[in-house]
Amino acid sequence: MSLLGKLFGAGGKGGKSASPQEAIQRLRDTEEMLTKKQEFLEKKIDQELITAKKNGTKNKRAALQALKRKKRYEKQLGQIDGTLSTIEFQREALENANTNTEVLKNMGFAAKAMKAAHENMDIDKVDDLMQDITEQQELAQEISDAISKPVGFGEEFDDDDLLAELEELEQEELDKNLLEIASTENVPLPNVPSTSLPARPAVQKKQEEDVDEMKDLEAWAAN
C-alpha cells in the first residue's frame, strides 16, 4: 500500500468517503509528521557534516561516507519540502471548498427561511395595510392639531382694542411719574429757627469770669 494510502486509507468502491473536516485534519497531521521528519534530517545533515570535517584528510574514507549520507539526507529533505508544498496547497483548497460549502448551505437555509416568512404575505394586502396606517397617522395628526388650538369659551377679543388699552395704561403711569418728579422739585426750604441760640456752657462761663478777676487783680497791684 502507498504512503498516501496508509495515511488516508484505501479508497474502494464500497469505502465511505471522509468528510471535509476529517480530510483537513488528516492533512494537518501529515504536515506535522513531515515537519518533524524535516527537523530530524536537518540534524542528521549537521552531524554528517561535522563527521566529514572531523575526519578530513586523516580518514578520507570515513569523510567521504559522511558526505554521501549527507547528500542522501539532503535529497530526502528536498523531497519532503516538495511534498509539504503539495499537501499545504491541497489543504488550503479543501478548506476553501469547505468554507464555500458552508456559506452556500447557510445561504440556502436563509433563503428557505425568508420564503417561509413571506409565504402568507400578499403584496396587495401589504399595500392596503400601509394605506390604512397612513390614513390613521393623518387622522391622529388632525386630532392633535385640533386639541392644541386655544379655546376662548365663546369670548373673542380684538388685538387692536387690547393694544389701545395697554397704551392708555402706559400713558397714565408716565403722567403719574412726571407729577411726582415736579412735586419733588418745588419742595420749600426749611424756615430759620426763631428761638435764640442756647447759652454757653457753665464751664466756659466760669473760665471767662476767672480771667476777668485776674485782670482786676493785676490792675490793683500795679496801682
pLDDT score for 10: 46
Q: Show the beta-strand stretches assigned E in 64-167.
A: none
pLDDT score for 117: 84
| Range of lowest pLDDT (60-64, 121-125, 187-191) | 187-191
Report pTM: 0.44
pLDDT confidence tier of residue 12, bands split at 50, 70 and 90:
very low
Q: Which SS3 state, helix, strand or coil, does residue 119 take? A: coil
Dist CA 184 CA 169 (whole Å): 23
| Range of lowest pLDDT (1-15, 71-85, 111-125, 177-191) | 1-15
What percent helix, strand, coil does the chain show, rounded to 5? Answer: 80, 0, 20
Dist CA 65 CA 203 (whole Å): 150
Q: Residue 59 pLDDT more than 80? A: yes
pLDDT by residue (tens digit) across 156-202?
Answer: 667 787 788 888 888 888 888 888 877 766 655 556 555 555 555 56
Higher pLDDT, 8 or 28: 28
Residue 24 and residue 89 in contact, taking contact as beta carbons nearer than 8 Å = no
Amino acid symbol at 144: S
CATH topology (fold) of 17-117: Helix Hairpins (1.10.287)
Copy the grid coordinates of residue 79.
523531497
